[in-house]
Amino acid sequence: MRTTASFLRLLVFFIAALIIIEWVYPGDEWAMLTQPILWAIVSGLMLFAIAFEICVAALESILFRTLTPEQQESYNSKRALKEENRFKWFRDTYKKALGSKAIEEEHDIILDHNYDGIKELDNDLPPWWVWGFYATILFAVVYLVRFEVLNDYNQDEEYEIAVAEAAIEIAEWKKTAKDLVDVNTVVLLTEASDLKAGQTIFNTNCVACHKADGGGGIGPNLTDRNWILGGGIKNVFNTISEGGRDGKGMISWKSELKPSEMAQVASYVLSFQGTTPAEPKEAEGDIWVDPEAPEDTKIDTKIDTETKEIKTEETIEIIQDSTAMNVILSN
Ligand code: HEC
């Protein structure tokens, strides 16, 4: 019994250690699985606990030997009593929960029929069963009122909520998974580290045709507002990923560069906007206006499609001025 108690204490100690560790390192995965070092720590602690148990037992036996025989006697009998009462509460409760009668009292509940010598006892239903049954009734009432009377929520709503929660989780996860960017999700990167990485990629792969300052050579000028294949992070990303028009020389880079790298170099390319290269190649393509830009900058597009003119900054300004005048006049 001694050893059983020690063993139980050690077991409780071990389980408590596991619970505390999982509580300290919350997460989707078990910390004990992801960080094997924790096993070493727990093993160390367990060794201490075992040593402690051994010390206590040894101390007890030494003290026991210092007692006089009478004292030893009384100690033993007290101990035996304690042992007997141990777990008494559990044993009693368990018996009560079964609700069965002791074998000596069975004559009270025996039914008077007899099938080939087999008799039947009229036992009460076990209390655990009865209380379980009451609990289901209570549950049914609460359920009925909550969902059928008060219409708390239905399965469709539950589904919608679960989907919304999952969408949030996916968004969180995507933030950590940088290489999942594609043309639909790419955004302009502004972190200095990303632009620096983009510059390195550009200088390694792109300068031959676009020049280090983006002024253009075999490839078009990347510093002006004119784009052949469309400006803005999404179009530029797409051009880099899929390549330019057939036969023009701009290949698809998606097999050489990772998506995150294409996003970095695309952001770096866009940082050329408005700079003045040493030998700028003449503009090719149309001035690109972001369709998602706020209204007041969008005026450019409207003018472009109406006038079908070459849109220099000057003409835009003139037209903007005249619309402003119109507004003033009509007031
Ligand atoms: C072999 C020469 C060459 C290399 C190397 C090259 N490009 Fe190009 N690039 C071109 C050409 C030519 C075009 C025009 C494509 C067209 O007209 O369809 C172009 C177009 C572009 C455009 C679109 C410009 C516009 O006006 O729409 C971008 C952006 C671009 N390149 C970025 C890059 C990046 C980034 C790299 C390096 C990863 C790169 N290019 C490497 C030749 C090159």
Residues of the chain with pLDDT under 50: 1, 298-312, 314-316, 318-319, 331
pLDDT of res. 212 = 93
pLDDT of res. 5 = 82
Q: Report how far ligand 1's centroid is from the alpha carbon of 254 (Å).
A: 13
Decide whether any atom of ligand 1 lies within 6 Å of the 208 Cβ: yes
Structure tokens at 249: 């020389």
Decide whether any atom of ligand 1 lies within 6 Å of the 195 Cβ: no
Atom 15 in ligand 1: residue holding the nearest Cα? 244
The domain defined by 192-287 folds into Cytochrome Bc1 Complex; Chain D, domain 2 (1.10.760)
Q: What is the pTM of this model?
A: 0.50
pLDDT of res. 211 = 93
pLDDT of res. 122 = 87
pLDDT of res. 329 = 53
Atom 11 in ligand 1: residue holding the nearest Cα? 219
User: Rounded to an integer, what distance in angstroms lies between the CA atom of residue 329 and that of residue 35?
Assistant: 74
Decide whether any atom of ligand 1 lies within 6 Å of the 287 Cβ: no
pLDDT of res. 301 = 46
* Every domain of the chain and the residues it spans: 2-86, 192-287, 298-330
